[in-house]
């Protein structure tokens, strides 16, 4: 995928929006840009009616939050294990002398993950050169850097799918949205890293994909405490969104204690909701992830985090991205969302697609 994204960036450089974005990179000769403000965010196109948007407030339902915390303490199995083979493969790929055959052999130990890798690799987002028939074909064609992205994406899809099955498809719409948002954030964060600082690409991609992984176990905990009759209404949607927002960081901490992932990725995932002062001690990749994640939330989710706009403006200022560059980035996030939607649709089984229905229209 790295090669595909580099080609995308090179082709985009011929267009005015990309040139404008490039000029926003720090440089001694760069002219000052007008900082983005609330009015610029208000002018971005959304996929839902703003008049009925109800941002998720983490402190709105303290009694439910306390119940979820008790469930998490009592049911340790709600912390999903990171797919062992995926963890082993990503560890292999970080070694300087890794051999392709060892990667193929590791993937073949987990037929379910191997099938998921093929599904993602054949999505067109990563390959685009005809259907791949085997894991070996995927590894040989994509190469080590790209297969790392495919394996991480497949692992995230497996985590979300296991959560969906664990709740009996009761929250199918929420699982579909979480999956779509994770892929969009990963792809868009990787693209923005290539535009701003290519050295952050790997961290930005993985952290974008995993930054909301705490919601996987948080939603499973919600299923344990929320009565079935409370599902499926607008009020319940706001309740669920608020509970996930209020508990997902604590859940993520539990997950990262059990998983062996790169420290930089962990720091971004656990720090993306930090205060401005806290973010000064974190990698710049945290701002890349916050920008694309919050743009996607504001565009597609009427129950977005209550502080989304303030956090987005903080990160835009931190990276020196001005008002003139906000709309081109927003358009790229939308394009990545459309590509992510095709992967989500391809990864869903026919039975699950029947329960979730068609993917919601996400184009602005």
**CB atoms inside a 10 Å sphere around CB 28:** 4
Q: Are residues 102 and 229 in the same domain?
A: no
Q: Supply the pTM of this predicted model.
A: 0.81
pLDDT at 254: 86
Domain containing 100 equals: 81-166
> Going by C-beta distance under 8 Å and a sequence separation of 6 or more, which residues neighbour residue 11?
none
Q: Is the pLDDT of residue 117 over 60?
A: yes
**CB atoms inside a 10 Å sphere around CB 259:** 16
- Which residue, among 166, 123, 162, has the nearest Cα to 142 in the 3D structure? 123
| Cα–Cα distance, 360 to 276 (Å, whole number) | 34
pLDDT at 294: 95
Q: Are residues 46 and 101 in the same domain?
A: no
**CB atoms inside a 10 Å sphere around CB 154:** 28
What is the residue-averaged pLDDT of the chain?
79
pLDDT at 347: 64
Q: Are residues 140 and 269 in the same domain?
A: no
Q: How far is CA 106 from the centre of its chain?
A: 25
Q: Are residues 15 and 56 in the same domain?
A: yes
> Going by C-beta distance under 8 Å and a sequence separation of 6 or more, which residues neighbour residue 80?
159, 162, 163, 216, 217, 255
- Which residue, among 264, 182, 266, 190, has the nearest Cα to 216 in the 3D structure? 182
In DSSP notation, 151-172 reads HHHHHHHHHHHHHHHHTTTTTH
| Cα–Cα distance, 211 to 202 (Å, whole number) | 14
List pLDDT tens digits, range 141-191: 777 777 888 888 888 888 888 888 888 778 888 898 999 999 999 999 999
List pLDDT tens digits, range 242-266: 999 999 988 888 888 888 788 888 8
Residue matched to tokens 């945290």: 286
Per the domain annotation, does 312 fall within a domain? yes
Percent of the chain whose predicted confidence (pLDDT) is above 90 = 23
Q: Are residues 319 and 348 in the same domain?
A: yes
Q: Are residues 339 and 225 in the same domain?
A: yes
Q: Are residues 249 and 327 in the same domain?
A: yes
Q: Are residues 276 and 260 in the same domain?
A: yes
Q: Are residues 74 and 122 in the same domain?
A: no
Q: What is the mean pLDDT of residues 234-243?
A: 84
List pLDDT tens digits, range 222-232: 998 888 766 65
Q: Any idea which of 114-118, 241-245, 321-325, 330-334 has the lowest mean pLDDT? A: 114-118
Q: Are residues 111 and 193 in the same domain?
A: no
Q: How many domains, in total, are found in the chain?
A: 2
pLDDT at 128: 58
pLDDT at 232: 58
Confidence of residue 356 (pLDDT cuts 50, 70, 90): very low
Confidence of residue 364 (pLDDT cuts 50, 70, 90): very low
Q: Are residues 152 and 211 in the same domain?
A: no
| Cα–Cα distance, 162 to 78 (Å, whole number) | 11
Choose one of 137, 166, 195: the last residue of a domain: 166
């Amino acid at each position: 995928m790295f090669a595909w994204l580099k080609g995308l960036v090179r082709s985009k450089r011929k267009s005015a929006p990309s040139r404008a974005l490039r000029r926003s990179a720090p440089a001694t000769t760069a002219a000052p840009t007008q900082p983005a403000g609330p009015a610029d965010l208000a002018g971005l196109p959304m996929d839902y009616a703003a008049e009925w948007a109800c941002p998720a407030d983490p402190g709105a339902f303290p009694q439910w939050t306390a119940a979820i915390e008790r469930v998490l303490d009592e049911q340790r199995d709600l912390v999903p294990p990171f797919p062992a083979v995926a963890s082993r493969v990503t560890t292999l790929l970080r070694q300087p002398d890794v051999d392709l055959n060892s990667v193929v052999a590791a993937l073949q130990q987990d037929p379910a993950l191997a099938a998921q890798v093929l599904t993602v690799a054949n999505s067109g987002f990563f390959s685009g050169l005809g259907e791949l028939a085997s894991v070996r074909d995927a590894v040989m064609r994509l190469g080590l850097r790209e297969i790392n992205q495919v394996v991480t994406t497949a692992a995230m899809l497996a985590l979300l799918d296991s959560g969906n099955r664990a709740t009996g498809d009761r929250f199918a719409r929420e699982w579909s949205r979480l999956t779509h948002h994770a892929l969009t954030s990963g792809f868009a964060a990787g693209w923005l890293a290539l535009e701003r600082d290519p050295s952050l690409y790997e961290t930005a991609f993985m952290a974008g994909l995993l930054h909301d992984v705490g919601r996987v176990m948080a939603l499973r905990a919600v299923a344990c405490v929320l009565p079935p009759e409370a599902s499926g209404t607008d009020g319940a949607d706001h309740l669920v969104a608020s509970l996930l927002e209020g508990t997902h960081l604590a859940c993520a901490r539990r997950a990262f204690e059990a998983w062996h992932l790169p420290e930089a990725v962990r720091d971004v995932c656990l720090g993306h909701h930090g205060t401005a002062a806290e973010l000064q001690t974190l990698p710049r990749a945290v701002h890349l992830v916050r920008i694309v994640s919050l743009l996607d939330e504001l565009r597609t989710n009427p129950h977005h985090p209550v502080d989304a706009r303030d956090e987005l403006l903080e990160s835009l200022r931190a990276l020196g991205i001005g008002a003139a560059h906000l709309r081109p980035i927003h358009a790229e996030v939308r394009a990545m969302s459309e590509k992510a939607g095709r992967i989500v649709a391809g990864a869903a089984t026919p039975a699950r697609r029947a329960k979730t229905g068609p993917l919601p229209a996400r184009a602005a």
